[in-house]
Amino acid sequence: MEAERQFEIIKTNTVEIISEEELLKKLKRQRPLRVKLGIDPSAPEIHLGISVQLRKLRQFQELGHIAVLVVGDFTGMIGDPSGQSKTRPKLTREQIKKNMAKYKEQIFKILDPKRTEFSYNSKWLGALTIYDFIDIASKHTVARILERDDFSIRLKEGIPVYMHEIMYPLFQAYDSVAIKADIELGGTDQKFNLLVGREMMRELQMEPQVIMTLPILEGTDGVRKMSKSFGNYIGITESPKEMFGKIMSIPDELIIKYFELTTDIFPHKIEEFRSGLQEGILNPRDVKFELAKTLVRMYHSAQVAEESAREFEKIYSKKELPTDLKEFKIGLEEINIVDLLMKTGLMPSRAEAKRKIKEGAIDIDGNPVKDINYVVKLNKPVVLRAGKHKFLKIIS
């Protein structure tokens, strides 16, 4: 495909390309470009937020280019400070190895294995001598590093910034040198680190990488970046039922963004959804329903997507119980609602159980329970619901 057409495809759903002229120049060389994405080994579960970057990599692959995934097994023992209000915990080599085994199981649901390279940065960073280390450090100033918002905020608030964190952007930059990256992708929160890579390559008389920042996808809460640590994520290997239900819970204002960044739906169809919602012709709930079916189809199958849609309608529109309702034998004639939620494993802690009760997220036989001292009578089986998607039949 001619370079100009490739450029137009690649540019879709990006925030910034530095620089567009350099990218077009690289594309005109008619050779496979090496497109870098750093992988955080502390997050082995791929969710829709991470899929935004992986789908862009897949787009490059379909145009004939190579995806180079740099696994931060060395830098993972430091922890990327980007966007962090405190020092991140360090990972052990054993944790990293275990996490990456899970990651690889999922990643090829999106990427083409034939055009994917995995590179572990301990290979080159672990081999650096103290002299090499000093040489790398000499390529950047402390003042420049401390310009970062996350560092400057921490310093103003009296929160420590450690030397190993200051070095992180330089190590990430050296990754680009080691793999000879033509392009590096990242979220908008990664812009500083990506620019350091450009500067270091230039310092070492290499052609600097083009950097491409992509939108950050908000999670199911509609506010914060999708993250497992925030509990607002939708994993691509979650059960169809969980995936469908979580997608239906996202705020209406995120529907189009999710379609654009996470699905394979054609742009003209997304525009139809956008205009229909803006004009009030389409019900947001119906469009979200199509979004849920689309994503379940992509990561499971068309048949499973249809089954999940029917099951969701059955439970939430017709107010019927799930087909796969499980039983839990408690061995008691009565029990406090908080204790019941803990014994069944539906809540991770008593504090969370109490919070959910007060929010009205718990009910017995369809009746909301808002009193943390409520006693559940088990003279007959009851159906316990926790949140939108968890049901159990409780028997004494």
| 244-266 pLDDT per residue, tens | 989 988 999 999 999 999 999 99
Q: Is the pTM of this model over 0.85?
A: no
Answer whether the bond into residue 19 is a cis peptide, omega within 30°.
yes
Task: Give the whole-angstrom CA distance, residue 272 versus residue 277.
Answer: 9
Question: What residues contact 103, with CB distance under 8 A and at least 6 apart?
Answer: 39, 41, 44, 46
Q: Yes or no: say if 118 and 69 are a contact pair by the CB < 8 Å rule.
A: yes
Cα–Cα nearest to 99, from 73, 127, 66, 61: 73
Task: Give the whole-angstrom CA distance, residue 213 versus residue 297.
Answer: 28
Question: What pLDDT, on the 0 to 100 scale, is given for residue 79?
Answer: 55
280 versus 160: the higher-pLDDT residue is: 280
Sheet holding 210-214, edge to edge: 16-18, 210-214, 183-187, 34-39, 66-71, 116-120
Question: Phi and psi at residue 220, in whole multiples of 5°?
Answer: -65, -20
Give 3-state DSSP helix, strand, coil % of the chain, rounded to 5: 50, 15, 35
Which residue in the block uniquely carries the two structure tokens 């004494």?
Answer: 396
For domain 326-395, say whether CATH 3.30.70.890 is its number: no
The secondary structure of residue 249, as a DSSP letter, is T
The secondary structure of residue 105, as a DSSP letter, is H
Task: With a cut of 80, say whether residue 214 has pLDDT above it.
Answer: yes
Residue 61 CB-density burial (10 A; 0-12 exposed, 13-18 middle, 19+ buried): buried
Domain spans in the chain, listed from the N-terminal domain onward: 3-214, 238-316, 326-395
Q: What is the mean pLDDT of the chain?
A: 87
Question: What pLDDT, on the 0 to 100 scale, is given for residue 174?
Answer: 93
Contacts 24+ apart (CB under 8 A), 171-174: 171/74, 171/75, 171/78, 171/121, 171/125, 171/136, 172/38, 172/72, 172/75, 172/80, 172/196, 172/197, 173/197, 173/199, 173/200, 173/201, 174/124, 174/125, 174/136, 174/200
Q: Yes or no: say if 42 and 25 are a contact pair by the CB < 8 Å rule.
A: no
Question: What pLDDT, on the 0 to 100 scale, is given for residue 84?
Answer: 47
Question: What pLDDT, on the 0 to 100 scale, is given for residue 352?
Answer: 85
327 versus 365: the higher-pLDDT residue is: 327
pLDDT tens, position by position, 68-96: 999 888 877 665 544 444 445 666 777 77
For domain 238-316, say whether CATH 1.10.240.10 is its number: yes
Which one of 3.40.50.620, 3.40.50.10260, 3.40.47.10, 2.40.70.10 gives the CATH number of domain 3-214? 3.40.50.620
Task: With a cut of 90, say whether residue 182 has pLDDT above it.
Answer: yes
Question: What pLDDT, on the 0 to 100 scale, is given for residue 145?
Answer: 75
Would you place residue 58 in the very low, low, confident or very high pLDDT band (cuts 50, 70, 90)? very high
Q: DSSP 3-state assignment of 139?
A: coil
Question: What residues contact 314, with CB distance under 8 A and at least 6 apart?
Answer: 320, 322, 323
The secondary structure of residue 250, as a DSSP letter, is S
The residue type found at 282 is L
Which residue in the block uniquely carries the two structure tokens 């789908």?
Answer: 55
66 versus 308: the higher-pLDDT residue is: 66
Task: Give the whole-angstrom CA distance, residue 251 versus residue 342.
Answer: 29
How would DSSP label each residue in 263-320? ----HHHHHHHHHHHHTT-S-HHHHHHHHHHHHHHHHT-HHHHHHHHHHHHHHHTS-P
Would you place residue 318 in the very low, low, confident or very high pLDDT band (cuts 50, 70, 90)? low
pLDDT tens, position by position, 37-49: 998 777 668 999 9
Positions of E strands within the chain:
16-18, 34-39, 66-71, 116-120, 183-187, 210-214, 326-329, 334-336, 362-364, 367-368, 375-377, 382-386, 390-395
Mean pLDDT of 16-43: 91
Token pair for 323? 């087909």
Question: Phi and psi at residue 225, in whole multiples of 5°?
Answer: -55, 135
Least confident of 79-93, 113-127, 196-210, 245-259: 79-93
Task: Give the whole-angstrom CA distance, residue 110 versus residue 256.
Answer: 21
CA 281 and chain centroid, separation: 32
- Write down how long the chain is: 396
